[in-house]
């Protein structure tokens, strides 16, 4: 078991950096030379400028909550703002780096959905058809449709609930294990359905493991190949890869640290792992720059046909907050300033990720902390979205108090 001490995390808050890069000289403030119009919300209203101090404050508070490091990258097309705090490697003391690669957890689900919706556009998949048409005999309920999987309304039990009932022992049991898709589906279907298909939103990694199997069945190619030829290569995402079942992150990397359930126990270095338990639900590796480009391309209409993108954006509440919603492989968060942003959160052992963009795709923000099983750190990291999209606001920072994680933030599973 690879454990580290929490000592040095507080001192790491001093490692706070800001980098701003500009595009071509002469471009108007807020202009996006890729599209030729001002950066806005997608409703015609311009966005306020990002608040670097607010972003930095949220990152420092994320460290105070127990993360070794945290970072945010804001991309408006013309300019990028990068803010980092803390360390990417507790052994070497290296600072966080927005060019570094990390495990994106459930942001992978958006990649899987893009591939699936492209198959819909090609006539290879009907989203309202039963999964049974494409994967006969795989699921126990023939009423479950492809759309039910994409929207987490299938009623399939999330097998990761059982795997990670105890966080660190559960992780160590699967760290180096390679699962077949059939094994994961069988773990889920050993439980009774949690709801009638189509009736209730219930987040389940099982849904997107089945989506991966469907993609491979329909195309005759691996999920890795489909990610590469449909998303990674066309967008030139040089730091993005589906490496399952390999365990390492190549090149410049951010190490991940899992928080044990026992208060005060040392963090566990969880960087090397197969993530085979998640696969097409959570095994992609990327960087903040690549995720910003991906989300901008998706909401900017470059990856999915316009009518199918609208289907992805048909949202229903994902909890009782009134500000969080889920569509097809996409989340929506309504920020305090009234701006809705679209993307996905990611949780995998050692990493929290928020990757969101405006409805027009013209401002994208990715924030990462190299910890997990720490609901307070995850919540505070989300405050970077407020500062990055809403700008300076006369509001007090969120109180740093411990709390149980929201269902979408449960630290042991890919969320």
Looking at the DSSP bridge assignments, the partners of residue 102 are 286
Cα 196 from Cα 144, distance rounded (Å): 9
Q: How far is CA 338 from CA 49, 322, 334, 365, 378, in A?
A: 15, 12, 6, 17, 22
Choosing from 5, 38, 82, 106, which is the catalytic residue? 106
Q: Of 352, 329, 328, 325, which is closest to residue 341 (Cα–Cα)?
A: 325
Checking DSSP bridges between strand 284-286 and strand 351-357, what pairing results, if any? unpaired
**Cis, peptide link before residue 20, omega less than 30° from 0:** no
CA atoms within 13 A on the CB side of 61: 21
What distance in Å separates the CA atoms of residue 315 and residue 295, rounded to the nearest whole number?
A: 17
Contact by Cβ (8 Å): 196, 171: no
Q: Is position 355 annotated as part of the catalytic site?
A: no
Residue 184: burial class (beta carbons within 10 Å; 0-12, 13-18, 19+):
buried
Task: Count Cβ atoms within 10 A of the Cβ of residue 25 and give its class: 0-12 exposed, 13-18 middle, 19 or more buried.
Answer: exposed
In the chain, the largest separation of any two C-alpha atoms, in whole Å, equals 62
Active site residues: 106
């Amino acid at each position: 078991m690879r454990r580290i001490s929490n000592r040095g995390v507080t001192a790491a808050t001093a490692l706070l950096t800001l980098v701003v890069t500009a595009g071509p000289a002469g471009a108007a403030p807020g202009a996006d030379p890729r599209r030729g119009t001002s950066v806005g919300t997608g409703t015609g209203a311009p966005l306020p400028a990002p608040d670097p101090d607010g972003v930095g404050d949220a990152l420092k508070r994320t460290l105070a909550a127990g993360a070794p490091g945290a970072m945010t990258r804001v991309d408006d097309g013309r300019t990028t703002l990068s803010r980092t705090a803390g360390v990417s490697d507790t052994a070497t003391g290296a600072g966080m780096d927005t060019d570094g690669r990390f495990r994106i957890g459930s942001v992978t689900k958006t990649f899987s959905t893009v591939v699936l919706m492209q198959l819909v556009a090609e006539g290879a998949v009907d989203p309202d058809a039963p999964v049974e048409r494409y994967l006969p005999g795989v699921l126990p309920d023939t009423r479950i449709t492809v759309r039910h999987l994409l929207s987490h309304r299938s009623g399939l039990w999330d097998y990761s609930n059982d795997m990670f009932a105890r966080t660190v022992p559960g992780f160590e049991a699967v760290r180096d294990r390679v699962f077949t898709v059939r094994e994961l589906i069988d773990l889920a279907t050993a439980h009774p359905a949690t709801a009638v298909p189509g009736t209730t939103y219930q987040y389940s990694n099982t849904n997107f493991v089945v989506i991966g199997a469907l993609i491979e069945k329909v195309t005759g190619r691996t999920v890795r190949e489909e990610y590469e030829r449909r998303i990674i290569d066309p967008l030139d995402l040089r730091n993005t890869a589906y490496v399952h079942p390999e365990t390492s992150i190549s090149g410049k990397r951010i190490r991940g640290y899992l928080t044990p359930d026992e208060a005060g126990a040392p963090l566990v270095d969880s960087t090397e792992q197969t993530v085979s338990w998640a696969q097409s639900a959570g095994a992609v590796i990327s960087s903040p720059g690549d995720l910003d480009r991906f989300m901008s391309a998706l909401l900017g209409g470059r990856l999915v046909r316009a009518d199918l993108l609208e289907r992805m954006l048909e949202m229903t509440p994902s909890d009782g907050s009134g500000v969080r919603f889920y569509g097809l492989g996409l989340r929506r968060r309504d920020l305090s300033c009234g701006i809705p942003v679209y993307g996905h959160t990611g949780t995998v052992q050692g990493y929290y990720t928020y990757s969101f963009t405006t409805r027009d795709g013209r401002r994208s923000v990715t924030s990462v902390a190299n910890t997990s099983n720490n609901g307070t750190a995850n919540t505070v990291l989300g405050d970077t979205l407020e500062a990055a999209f809403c700008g300076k606001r006369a509001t007090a920072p969120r109180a740093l108090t411990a709390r149980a994680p929201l269902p979408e933030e449960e630290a042991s599973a890919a969320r």
